[in-house]
Amino acid sequence: MATTTILDVIRTKRDGGALSEEQIRWFIDGYTDGTVAHEQASALLMAIVFVGMEPRELATWTAAMIASGERLDLSGIGRPTVDKHSTGGVGDKISLPLAPLVAACGAAVPQLAGRGLGHTGGTLDKMESISGWRARLTNAEFEGQLSTIGAVICAAGDSLAPADRELYALRDVTATVESIPLIASSIMSKKIAEGTAALVLDVKTGSGAFMADHDRARELARTMVGIGERNGVRTAALITDMDTPLGFTAGNALEVTESIEVLEGGGPSDVVELTVHLARIMLELAGVDRVDPADALADGRALDVWRRMVAAQGGDLSVPLARAPEVELVTAASSGIVQRLDARPIGEAAWLLGAGRSRKEDPVSDSAGVVWHARPGDSVTAGQTLFELHTDEPSRIPGALDALRDAITIGPEPLDPSPLVIERIG
């Protein structure tokens, strides 16, 4: 039998062919253990960007990434498990109220979360704005917290899908991130490895989303649902709007504050709507339908789980969240009705103020971000505050002001609103 070589693997994909199972597993093992060079892996990734992958290839590729590390077994924790993943957006703090809400209804949520990059925020960055909260847990701590509290939000351990960690770092510096097969396999390999029995995907589309085009968002959703089902994980996806940011805040401590408002029975209507909608689908897939999550949100049960979840990971909610020393106000130049609030420039402004990072190793500010005081359909008057810019460094304000220049459109009458939930797949 012929020996597999990296040149054969690259050449097969470069010329439009489908990689064999042997080639895929050989490549994933070789790149993970360092025997395949970075430049050779880069060439293969670029070929995949241009040529794509067939469903069989993608299934094998994902399985090989899962097999590069351990796959957790959560069957003994005593509750059905279900997780949620969002492709990221502006003001997307949904995971914070959602995990304790679903746990309050009887399922367990083993959420391995990530950090923000560019204009999209990261769940771990938000949680780390809580004094003492820690993202890293051992497997024993992770499973114990799931058993006793029912919800965990934490960082993925190094032993879960290490091939994905290596490949993602390479994709990030070789302009090979924007490939649907590579995105789908990256997300799903970690979610499957964490051991959840069911998964709901929140795939954002619109100006503030990573996948701005609706058709590509649908393709990504279908691809990920297919991977999940082929790996024995009950999977569904929602395509949701990210032309308009969620809630009224973008920034780490600012979004934690807003999330707590939701858990206390208030908060922005769109955040509540999406949280409850996702919770119902998660409970459906988990086979838990005896509780309406709207009731568990309103009566304080979800808030109680949130407090216990945060405390279990060292968080002290009695310590006030960070407040920015510098706040710049942006006022309306004219009166009228807000027709458009563009998520992308708001996310970029929050990033420029210090809430986000350009590289994974960059620090972020807990207190930085943007607060907006009007949403599409709201009436505003000239001189009314539209935005608050929060930052630790005044030198960051001019760039954020420039980013917000076209973030809001005010006109004489409202435009037809876009639905928050566009489509369900699976």
By annotation, the residues acting in catalysis are: 85, 164, 171, 186, 190
Please state, in angstroms and rounded to a whole number, the distance separating the CA atoms of residues 298 and 319.
25
From residue 172, alpha-carbon distances to 10, 125, 177, 178, 371 in Å are 19, 19, 6, 10, 30
What count of Cα atoms within 13 Å lies in the side-chain half-sphere of residue 312?
A: 24
Closest to 181 (Cα-Cα) out of 31, 62, 43, 302: 62
User: By three-state DSSP, how is residue 154 classified?
Assistant: strand
Please state, in angstroms and rounded to a whole number, the distance separating the CA atoms of residues 407 and 384.
16
Residue 35: CB atoms within 10 Å? 11
Closest to 251 (Cα-Cα) out of 149, 368, 339: 368
Report yes or no: 112 and 156 within 8 Å, Cβ to Cβ: yes
Please state, in angstroms and rounded to a whole number, the distance separating the CA atoms of residues 313 and 305.
13
Please state, in angstroms and rounded to a whole number, the distance separating the CA atoms of residues 426 and 420.
18
Please state, in angstroms and rounded to a whole number, the distance separating the CA atoms of residues 44 and 48.
6
**Residue keyed to tokens 């979840």:** 309
